[in-house]
Amino acid sequence: MKPRNSFWAAFRFAGGGVWHTLRNQRNFRVHVSVAIVVVCIGWIFNLSRVSWALIVLAMALVLGLELVNTGLEALTDLASPGYHRLAGAAKDAAAGAVLVAAAASVVLGLIVYQPQLTHFRQHFMVRWHQNPALVIGLGVCLIISLALLWGFVPARQRGEGGQNQNGDTP
């Protein structure tokens, strides 16, 4: 029998982890939604390669930490189904890592986008005159992707384990 840990199986399992997180974690959907909007605005502003690299790195950091946070929360719930102070501290620290990365990403976004925000209308009109069909397509893709994220991705079932700081289960 062939082992299940082939190179391609690893990608399939990793994709399953991303899909699980997308389905079950509202904050991950929020981060993905913000990333989609940031990419659309970056396209309108015609960002430089360096700016794109910084934006993509920030998005990857936040999304990656959110995935790690989800994994740590699941593992903590498995190991400590009842309330335990250290389990709560571990989950809070993992969530804090996501918060720090998200805050740094907001600051980076302001640094990259601030000089161009005052000219948003001008950038948008330039893109519109260059290729209106592409701008309309971008808007449609944005609306569809956000609708898929918030409307059609199955929501998490209630009753799964977990613990809050005060020991309540969700």
* Tens place of pLDDT per residue across the chain (170 aa): 455 678 888 889 999 999 999 888 889 988 998 898 899 888 888 899 999 999 999 999 999 999 999 999 999 999 988 889 999 999 999 999 999 999 999 999 999 988 887 777 787 888 788 888 877 888 887 888 777 777 755 555 544 445 554 444 44
Q: What is the pLDDT of residue 168?
A: 47
Global pTM value: 0.76
Q: What is the pLDDT of residue 23?
A: 87
Task: Classify residue 162: in a domain, yes or no.
Answer: no
Task: Classify residue 91: in a domain, yes or no.
Answer: yes
Q: What is the pLDDT of residue 93?
A: 96
Q: What is the pLDDT of residue 40?
A: 86
Number of domains in the chain: 1
CB environment 38-74: b (16+ within 10 A), e (fewer): bbbbbebbebeeebeebbeebbebbbebbbebbebbb
Known active-site residue 73 = no
Task: Classify residue 105: in a domain, yes or no.
Answer: yes
Q: Which of 41, 66, 70, 109 is catalytic?
A: 66
By residue range, what is the domain housing residue 141?
Answer: 21-152
Q: What is the pLDDT of residue 163?
A: 54
CATH of the domain at 33: 1.10.287.3610
